[in-house]
Amino acid sequence: MNGSVRIGRVLGVPLRVHWTVPLLVVLFGYSLGAQTLPAWLPDRSNATYTAAGLVGALLLIGSLLAHEAAHAIIARRKDIPVQDVTLWALGGMTQMGKPRTAGAAFLVAVGGPLTSLVVGGAALGAGVGLNALFGWAVPAAVLVWLAWVNFLLGLFNLLPAAPLDGGRVVQSVIWWRTGDRDRAERAAARSGQVLGFLLIAVGWISVLRGAFGGLWLMIIGFFILVVANAERRQAGMASALRGVRAADAMSSPVETCPDWLTVERCVDDVAMPARHSTLPLIDFGGRPSGLVDLSQLARTPVSQREELRVRDVATPLSQCTTCTPDDLLEDVLESIRPSRSGIRILVTEGGLLVGIVTARDIARLVQRHSLRGTDSGPNNDADNR
């Protein structure tokens, strides 16, 4: 997710935190310390309320992390690759590959909400115990609040609409009953679209009635709607790419640029007359060595273009996605995360570059599938990157 930074690893999985997480801590810390606790336990000091609110907000972040960690643990046990876990203002997201079976999809989906419910139950029990045994009213109230939030989080995530975990559960059940994964994904995405519209409508009505908490519902509904729309498109793309090899999608022949050229010569002799915005680089042996696009060339200061080689400003091959012509495109796409420059896959054979697959190549396949129901065959049109 753009705007997030990596801060470490959790259970071997990279952990990223979005810039909105501090806002989440402030929001919930203020709500707990300035509103909830004074209503539950009046006549405490402001310092007590502030400290308790901060601790409660941090415990909530920890419970969100536990929710996402459960998804990641189950996914890895089911041999599903997990790229990272990201915490942000609306909770968290676990970036992972697609489950291979409906059963694995079901277990990964229910793991998060069940963890939230378990955390809620543990917090409630601890809060009641602290109050009964030691009379620690403030810590007990914080734990009871944490339990309530986790119960709400777990139950909300079980709503049968993607991208919520409940939508994943519905998707896995439909997949199991019908054997049609694409149909299951489309059904879950449609339910997400419906839920998004409903939350936006309810939030708007609440705002009109003076309840400004409805803005939060509208934000959540908008997020669900956007992601559900994206997942419905993704489901259509997966159907179009089923069984398609990289050779059937790649653009070939490919315009290339020698990596030993200076940036200035690359701009004048190659980039300016080229029809494409992305140029694979080749070394002296004719082997691919990286990728450069117009934005990278444009960012190079004019004063340095006579000195720098184009390979110095390009993306090296080690950071590029490569595959062979016979690799299934769906598997290749599942293993990568598109960069800001979009999808760019170098197709190599015997160490030599034979083609490139970009987002436009894939979009064309999807369009052909929607028109004809199947891929129309290999694509050798390179004039669309």
Residues recorded for the chain: 385
Write phi, then psi, for 276 (nearest 5 degrees).
-120, 155
Helices (H) and strands (E) in the chain, counts: 14, 11
Instruction: Could you list the beta-strand ranges (E) of 64-187.
Output: 82-88, 91-96
Q: What is the CA radius of gyration of the chain?
A: 26
91: left (phi over 0), alpha (psi -120 to 50) or beta: left
Establish whether 68 is a catalytic residue.
Answer: yes
Tokens representing 194 are 């419906």
Cα dihedral 161, 188, 99, 340 sign = negative
Q: Which residues are within 8 A (CB) of 219 and not within 5 positions of it... i.e. 6 or more apart?
A: 90, 203
Tokens representing 204 are 């708007």
Termini Cα distance of the chain: 25
Q: How far is CA 49 from CA 27, 33, 45, 60, 82, in A?
A: 14, 5, 6, 16, 39
Q: How far is CA 102 from CA 78, 79, 347, in A?
A: 11, 14, 32
CB 225 within 8 A of CB 197: yes
Q: Residues 68, 255, 306, 349: which is the catalytic one?
A: 68
Strand-pair category, 288-293 with 278-282 = antiparallel
Strand-pair category, 315-316 with 344-349 = unpaired
Biggest alpha carbon–alpha carbon distance for the chain? 80
Distance in angstroms (rounded) separating the CA atoms of residues 73 and 69:
6
b (16+ CB within 10 A) / e for 242-263: eebbbbbbbbbebbbbbbebbb
Residues identified as active-site? 68
